[in-house]
Structure 1
């Protein structure tokens, strides 16, 4: 089964809103029939919506959408737009007097990349949701959606920072499908987990055509973050597995290994790293198989995000290094 996008997973719809001029945007993933959701938040500075609701002990057992957005905490506004669009279309949790779409999400800090005053809005969220539901095409990658203003390797400041982006990957094992999307906006360097070679990160002070080692710089106090809490890699794993909320949460936790395998350092006090899981419940497989396959998909989505990025806004991309 040659799947290349999460939009090819039955019951999943997704689309971007991109503002190239302002270097921001959002990415919307929708399951109209409702998915089982989970989340894992490990970064020290997250900007999130409806993460407590996804905890296994809470009583709401359905998730209709995950939104990944730029705009830092301001970007949370676009998630209300997604909820409005879903409500218009009758998608949501029936609460007796009406329906309430369950929309979770997280934001990256991209305000220093393009325009500080332009962030994804309620109208932008509505547009992305409508595009996903009306024109469910494979997702573009690179400088699009939540990855439009993403950058990586930011420990030493903007002069040595590289362009990040939005990435995607789908892994298949028998009937099981695990897809992952990621907006890669990390403080650390992005490392290929197979070759252990840096793909993007902090540029070398003496040789701007090569990548320095952020961990070495951090541990020797050779560099310090000029803008704190301005980083985050945010992701969503989508699977056709049948999971409980507790199991979806465990898959999110297992998938966090992908961050450790590809981003060094990760989960720092300056990152807001968050991983959502949406399970559509079509295939019963062992939980560990789902976790391992999801981790593989997310590893490749993170690498894809910096590999597909294009040089823009004064930041060189891996493609042009």
Structure 2
């Protein structure tokens, strides 16, 4: 209901200083826009972990576009990821991951494959959203876009503290052409710090077929997941007035992209859940699975046949891992109890990140933003 205060967190979590992925040491985030199209309506977001990270993935949508997901299975050998690329441009956007690889190689970052003096291979999983119906379908990120996003991430990490890297949310990077149901979507982040000082964070691109708004009340589904007043900074209501809700619902059933909406076909929400807890590869997979629970609370319905919903999980390598040659030694992992708390927070962070993406987005390419909707 309007005016209700957000509920408290079950485990007493509070947002990290940046309320995003850079609250996890060893990670940085960069965005870049495509260089083609009129207008430019796509881009890339790179989450870089140059010292390496244990990685995993969970794919729930029926129409995924991905790269290097098989090697992230716990049963497979590769343990280390160096970056994740979230890309616009549908399957064309997977080219951007090659640029991320080239940029990492140029900086000497990668997995030695023939000993310390031999060549290196950066490990860069990637996923794409289907944003071709929005803006110009010829606007597609390529290898140069991916390399620019990587450079933005690594240069930001060198030049400024993590807490000063915040503020890039909404219509940026891979979120440039994203639409959340009948609303403008984009890139959003959230983090949670829980006892004994562990951090979980999620960064995602919301481009879902489902709706982020309760059609009965005009309230964002994920609004009540907020920690304290974290959503107040946008200066907009989190409930649409009658006129705004009516306009939204006229664009698609229940505020979705299902006809008579502005676009049908493929969609997808993609993202990364990260933690500073020393989880194993199998435990990281559990975190990726849990993030989908938060997505399903903030976007309804989620994981549809026309979505490609994909979450990667990252746990950066630390000196305690005994890393050598870019590959961590096998970890003991965390207890079941700690993994349960981390999983719960992964879900809540995903839910909150969806709200941040929607509140921060600008109207673009004929798709109304939340700010425009609540102004009616």
Structure 1 pair 133–223 and aligned structure 2 pair: CA distance change class (3 A): closer
Q: Using the TM superposition, give the Cα deviation of residue 57 of structure 1 relative to its aligned residue in structure 2, in angstroms.
A: 0.5
Change (3 A) 1:318 1:287: same
2:250 and 2:261 in contact (8 A); partners too: no
Q: CA RMSD in A?
A: 2.8
Question: Which residue in 1 is equivalent to 2:247?
Answer: 208
Matched, 1:63 2:99: no
Name the larger-Rg structure: 2
Within 5 Å, give how 1:139-218 maps onto structure 2: 140-153=168-181, 161-174=182-195, 175-190=197-212, 191-193=220-222, 195=224, 207-208=246-247, 214=253
In structure 2, the residue matched to 1:126 is 147
* Counterpart for residue 280 of structure 1: 316
Deviations 1:224-252 (A, max 9, x none): 77865421011111111111111111111
Question: Aligned equivalents of 2:132 and 2:255: distance in 1?
Answer: 27
1:242 to 278, 283, 296: 278
Matches of 2:369 and 2:262, distance apart in 1: 21
Q: Kindly tell me: are residues 314 and 91 of structure 1, through their superposed partners in 2, closer, same or farther at Cα, counting changes over 3 Å?
A: same
Counterpart check, 1:17 vs 2:32: yes
Partner of 2:13: none
Q: CA deviation at 1:254?
A: 1.4
Match of 1:105 among 120, 126, 131: 126
- Name structure 2 gaps, 5 residues minimum: 1-15, 158-164, 213-219, 226-236, 319-332
Distance 2:78 2:90 in 1: 27
Distance in 2, Cα, partners of 1:27 & 1:3: 17
Q: Distance in 2 between matches of 1:115 and 1:173?
A: 43
CA shift digits 1:20-61 (9 cap, x unpaired)? 931111100111111011111010100101001100100001
**Other-structure match for 1:316:** 368
Q: Distance in 2 between matches of 1:217 and 1:111?
A: 17
- Corresponding residue SS for 2:269: strand
Structure 1: gaps spanning 5 or more residues: 154-160
- Which stretch shows the higher mean deviation, 6-15 or 23-32? 6-15
How far apart in 2 are the matches of 1:151 and 1:252? 22
Shift of 1:192: 2.4
Count of residues in Structure 1 that have an aligned counterpart in Structure 2: 309
Q: Report the TM-score, using the length of structure 1 for normalisation.
A: 0.88
Provide closer, same or farther for how the CA distance between residues 189 and 95 of structure 1 changes in structure 2, counting only shifts above 3 A: same
**Match of residue 258 from structure 1:** 294
Pair 211,226 (structure 1): closer, same or farther in 2 beyond 3 Å: closer
Q: Hey, which of these two has a bigger chunk of strand by percent?
A: 1
- TM-score (ref. length: structure 2): 0.76
Alpha-carbon distance, 1:16 to partner: 0.3
**Is the 8 Å Cα contact of residues 214 and 264 (structure 1) preserved in structure 2?**
no
- How many angstroms apart in 2 are the aligned matches of 1:313 and 1:181? 23
In structure 1, the partner of 2:358 is 306
Cα distance in 2 between the residues matched to 1:123 and 1:206: 40
> CA separation in 2, counterparts of 1:208 and 1:78?
36
Q: Judge which range, 224-233 or 28-37, deviates more.
A: 224-233
